[in-house]
Amino acid sequence: MEFKGRDIISIKDFSREEIDFVLKIAQAMEPVAAEGSDMLRGKILATLFFEPSTRTRLSFEAAMHKLGGSTIGFAEAEIASVKKGENIADTVRTVENYADVIAMRHPLEGAARLAAEFARVPIINGGSGAEEHPTQALLDLYTIMREKGKIDGLKIALVGDLRYGRTVHSLAYALSLYDIELYLVSPGSLKMRREVLRVIKEKIPVSERTNLEGIVSLVDVLYMTRIQKERFPDPAEYAKVRGSYKVDLNILREAKKDLIILHPLPRVDEIAAEVDNSSHARYFKQVWNGIVVRMALLALILDAVR
């Protein structure tokens, strides 16, 4: 399997074998993440965030530092040359001179793919439009693998905004490569996109619901997402949805003992604070897992591990 110099644009570009390989390397990175290393000493990561994302940006930067490399970049489009009217192609053909690898977030779908077509250095998609967030999907899978010991055979629910949330699209594609049962729980106006549904339904059993009831007791993994007020034209509609998708200790009484709850964060109030100390919560563990997964990708792409 060759990762050297590879672009990471879409989870759809990955085979199951490739995902499993990345997860294996990620696990090997756990002690490296704790100790630090010189694997990428002298290498530079550019983080080009045309859209702010503290979490993803800091995760990439921490991963690079833990491998002994350096980082440069910008955190929002306003301070980029974009302001002066520069297009993505020119930006990446410039920045590729400064860096050995580029992690990029952009509000437009297709932006990362376009960048990769012009860049000589590898591009890692840190989120583009509402469509793709491949490194998030990989860390989600890594978390499930680490916590459950496997992915095959699990019942997994994705809950919340399945229409605009980019993490659930990438995750759904990735999960469809495994032998799982998928439950999609969302309000009618925020249902999973058809183009995603079409693909994953050919591979795994998928059940769509508008209601969280009955799901919590059924599944092994509950993947919650943030429901944003802006998505609802009617505030009353938002209030109703918001209330009905909230996970708290009461609702968890019916859960399997070893249910794990994930969330890409930040959350607003989909998960009550009282759940944080329960045996189910894994959403902060996910954050750590994001570091080791990104370390694995950086080390693979820059040929420091094979």
Q: Which of 16, 24, 41, 201 binds a second copy (CB under 8 A)?
A: 41
Q: Which of 16/41 has CB closer to a second copy?
A: 41
Per-position DSSP letters for 113-169, written without gaps between them = HHHHHH-SS-EEEEEETTTB-HHHHHHHHHHHHHHHS-STT-EEEEES-TTT-HHHH
Q: Which of 119/200 has CB closer to a second copy?
A: 119
Binding segment for a second copy among 5-13, 123-131, 236-244, 260-268 (CB under 8 A)? 260-268
Q: How far is the CB of 118 from a second copy (least distance, A)?
A: 9
Is 146 labeled as catalytic in the residue annotation? no
Residues β-bridged to residue 182: 156, 206
Q: Which of 6, 12, 65, 163 binds a second copy (CB under 8 A)?
A: 65
Q: How far is the CB of 198 from a second copy (least distance, A)?
A: 30
Q: How far is the CB of 80 from a second copy (least distance, A)?
A: 5
Per-position DSSP letters for 67-128, written without gaps between them = TT-EEEEESSGGGSGGGGT--HHHHHHHHTTT-SEEEEEESSTTHHHHHHHH-SS-EEEEEE
Q: How far is the CB of 62 from a second copy (least distance, A)?
A: 4
Contact between 61 and a second copy per CB under 8 A: yes
Distance, in Å, from the CA atom of 221 to the CA atom of 21, rounded to the nearest integer, reads: 22
Q: Please provide the size of the chain in residues.
A: 306
Distance, in Å, from the CA atom of 145 to the CA atom of 160, rounded to the nearest integer, reads: 23
Q: Which of 93/256 has CB closer to a second copy?
A: 93
Name the active-site residue from 43, 66, 106, 133: 133
Is 229 labeled as catalytic in the residue annotation? no
Contact between 78 and a second copy per CB under 8 A: yes
Q: Which of 52, 107, 205, 214 binds a second copy (CB under 8 A)?
A: 52
Residues 135, 62, 143, 209: what is their CA dihedral angle, to the nearest 10 degrees? -50
Q: Among candidates 76, 118, 73, 79, which has minimal Cα distance to 99?
A: 73
Beta carbons of 290 and 265 less than 8 angstroms apart: no
Q: Which residues contribute to the site for a second copy (CB under 8 A)?
A: 35-37, 41-44, 46, 52-55, 58-59, 61-62, 65-66, 68, 70-76, 78-81, 83-86, 89-91, 93-95, 97-99, 226, 265-268, 273, 284, 287-288, 290-291
**Which residue numbers are catalytic?**
55-56, 84, 105, 133
